[in-house]
Structure 1
Amino acid sequence: MTLKAGSILEGTVVNITNFGAFVEVDGKTGLVHISEVADSFVKDIREYLKEKDKVKVKVLSVDDNGKISLSIKQASAPKKSARPIEIDWAKKGKPQPTVNFEDKLSKFLKDSEEKFQDLKKHQDSRARGYRKNSSS
């Protein structure tokens, strides 16, 4: 059987690295990148796979140089709900206090000015300390 994109086959894990696992399929070796091992984030691939494990893989691509890209997570059965979640935008989660734009802007400017003054004081005090030490 020739390997082509979209095929789902069974293979054997032959080597594991930090970035993925090499799987032998039909006498050829392809790479399952760490991002294609599971639906959740995979920090350590060795928690999911061991050498000589039998795995079901989907062929993602075969390039001109013969490099084979594989996926374990795409080979598994699709999730029950493949439809996007419907959101009712008319409903509001919890009532938000009504604050007009001018009030928000005024609060932002006040907070911003306070932060700026603190920063300026800090920089002035550091500059004065630097001058004292440099004149010695």
Structure 2
Amino acid sequence: MQLEVGKIYEGKVTGITKFGAFVELDKNTTGMVHISEVANTFVNEIKDHIQEGQTVKVKLLSLGDDGKISLSIKKALPAPPRKPRENRDGRDGRDGNNRDGRNNNREGGRNFSRNSNGGRQGGSYSKFADRKPQDFTKNPPPVYDPSANSGNADFEDMMSKFKAASDEKFSDLKRITDNKRRSPSRRK
């Protein structure tokens, strides 16, 4: 018999051990089904799922150089129906309801609802929903242009200009954050 990896064959269970079952594909060919490949569920005892002498369908997983043949019963079975995944918080992901039927459309402690386009609306993020992108044509951000410097500017000049600009930006940032901390309107 010419065997091909990935094909499904029919064979007879000739022996059962703690770690798997041996399946005879033809008179000269026997492969092993590991316990993890017997069924789609957890298998504690193989004898609960298959019996010696039973004819089973198996999928050929691999052919070893040493003559070992690895088989799978569960991969030869049709795929089991998938049930919806359940999130950690008890929601099943379909409609936002908990197992007990309560609505749980909450994300991060904020209430959200879905708009017609599938996006979120409501909650404390709604103030950003209407924000338009900044227009940099009126007040473009500063851009470093090395060609703007004279050809005689050396590395030290460029470094000192960078340091001065950086110190100025840092002091502006510090002033703004200090003013926010001292602002009486924030204390209520």
In the superposition, the TM-score normalised over structure 2's length comes to 0.44
| Cα offset, 1:92, TM superposition | 8.4
What whole-Å deviation, never above 9, does each CA across 1:101-123 have from its counterpart, x for those lacking one? Answer: xxxxxxxxxxxxxxxxxxxxxxx
Which of 1 and 2 has higher RCO (CA within 8 Å, sep 6+)? 1
Give 2:50's aligned amino acid.
L
Q: C-alpha root-mean-square deviation of aligned residues, in Å?
A: 3.1
1: distance between equivalents of 2:108 and 2:6?
52
What whole-Å deviation, never above 9, does each CA across 1:69-126 have from its counterpart, x for those lacking one? Answer: 0000000123456xx97x96xx68634784xxxxxxxxxxxxxxxxxxxxxxxxxxxx
Contiguous gaps of at least 5 residues in structure 1: 99-136
What's the counterpart of residue 21 of structure 1?
21
Change (3 A) 1:51 1:92: closer
What's the counterpart of residue 53 of structure 2?
52
In the superposition, the TM-score normalised over structure 1's length comes to 0.60
What's the counterpart of residue 74 of structure 1?
75
- Higher helix fraction (1 or 2): 1
Is 1:32 the counterpart of 2:47 in the alignment?
Answer: no
Change (3 A) 1:92 1:34: same
Change (3 A) 1:47 1:80: closer
Question: How many residues are treated as equivalent by the alignment?
Answer: 97
Give 2:3's aligned amino acid.
L
1: distance between equivalents of 2:25 and 2:7?
11
What whole-Å deviation, never above 9, does each CA across 1:42-80 have from its counterpart, x for those lacking one? Answer: 000010111100000000000111100000000012345
Contiguous gaps of at least 5 residues in structure 2: 86-91, 99-103, 110-188
Give 1:48's aligned amino acid.
H
Identity of aligned residues (%): 49
What's the counterpart of residue 10 of structure 1?
10
